[in-house]
Amino acid sequence: MSRRKLLVIGYVWPEPKSSAAGARMMQLLEFFLAEDYSITFATTAAKTEFMTDLPSLGIATEKIELNNESFDLFLKKISPEIVIFDRFMMEEQFGWRVAEVVPNALRILDTEDLHFYRKARQKAVKSGAEVTSSLIYSDTAKREIASIYRCDLSLIISEAEMQLLQSTFKVPGELLFYLPFMLSTPSEAEVEALPAFSARKDFISIGNFLHEPNKDAVLRLKKDIWPLIRERLPEAKMHIFGAYIPQQILQLHNEKEGFVVYGRAESAKGVIKNARVLLAPLQFGAGIKGKFTDAMQVGTPSVTTNLGAEGMAPQLPWSGFVEDDPQNFADVAIKLYSEERLWLEAQQNGFRILKEYFSEAIHRERFRRKIQHIREKLQAHRQENFTGQMLQHHSLASTKYLSKYIEAKNKDRP
């Protein structure tokens, strides 16, 4: 019996050590490997130094081109049963080709986070205003939600985003599937092996600096929060780690102020587990944040904002504190850093969040059943999604012919 085939059309090559998005993609690939799928990962992106060696995991790779019929030939050759688009931009570029060449393939969109929501919040913060409906109902929102409708299923990483899509935009629940990070909870032996409160010191901030919210958070730490902490904890240091760190952040390095900028960490969990508290004063963004689940897995409590904790554990106490005001943020960070009993309680809260919200076993089983259910009634599922059919028709009638035009123009070039 031949193995089922999965094609993933990636926005970039996965870098799990650089970003939560890269870690998320690897979790999906590992799920399908465990389900014994034959997997091909294809992307238009250039290879990077820190990308995962997918062939060593048994995953085939393919470099593909935009606006080129070679993708159609490639698609016919592998004939996948499932196609995953990594972010809506990939669905826009290749979705119509997938629908035309392999119409019976289940089309899944992995949103990573809702891009339009993150952009709306970023604009609001930069302008010092509230997030208004005019910011949310943007051109990006129209594009992203159209992509959700055109797919058979969209993976939504945050419960808050599930609610936004269903209540504000009235997207049918049948098209959405809540799938957060799929993670293991540390065993008792692993917890015992973690550094104790007394063995840890200093604060840490970590994140991919290609992601604008992380850069903004470090600038806020430097200007508004760290001076307040340093004044009362003069021996403590603030360690800044992150992939693709820009000069703007590198120049914040100041040994005298205890604000130490390192750049990329070889192992995120390795540096987080030696810190006593993780700080992330995020002002905008969307989805859920891998830095917090990394911290929970190595028993490091955190202080963040309401936006930072959004959608991660709405019914449970946070693994630390949630504060938006800089002075309050600094106060609770100092309290958490200084009081072992409070710190241990926050650590236990983190382990509980992992177990109840991010269980790998539970979410894999849910995902397995969902895929099976939709594949068994794919045509009926699509018939119930008339809006998606309509948008797919429009896509084939517009995006297709624009792409064909560009393809023809490229062929005419000498």
- Measured between alpha carbons, how far is 342 from 347 in angstroms, rounded to an integer? 9
User: Residue with structure tokens 């290749």?
Assistant: 94
pLDDT at 397: 62
Phi-psi region of 33 (alpha: psi -120 to 50; beta: other; left: phi over 0): alpha
Decide: pTM greater than 0.85. yes
Within this chain, domains 5-182+360-412 and 188-357 share the same CATH topology: yes
* Residue 236, Ramachandran bin (φ over 0: left; ψ between -120 and 50: alpha; else beta): beta
Please report the pLDDT score of residue 408 as a whole number: 66
Q: Where are the domains of the chain?
A: 5-182+360-412, 188-357
CATH topology of domain 5-182+360-412: Rossmann fold (3.40.50)
Q: Tell me the pLDDT of the chain (414 aa) as tens digits.
A: 679 999 999 999 999 988 888 999 999 999 999 999 999 999 999 999 899 999 999 999 999 998 888 999 999 999 999 999 999 999 999 999 999 999 999 999 999 889 999 999 999 988 888 888 888 999 999 999 999 999 999 999 999 999 999 999 999 999 999 999 999 989 999 999 999 999 999 999 999 998 899 999 999 999 999 999 999 999 999 999 999 999 999 999 999 999 999 989 989 999 999 999 999 999 988 889 999 999 999 999 999 999 999 989 989 999 999 999 999 999 999 999 999 999 999 999 999 999 999 999 999 999 999 999 999 999 999 999 999 888 887 766 666 666 666 666 666 665
What CA–CA distance (Å, rounded) separates 161 from 167? 10
> How far is 58 from 6, CA to CA, in rounded Å?
13
Which residues is 279 bridged to in the sheet? 303
Fold of the domain built from segment(s) 188-357: Rossmann fold (3.40.50)
Q: What pLDDT is recorded for position 1?
A: 60
Residue 55 identity (one-letter amino acid):
P
* CA-based radius of gyration for the chain: 22
Q: Is residue 261 within 8 Å of residue 187, measured between CB atoms?
A: no
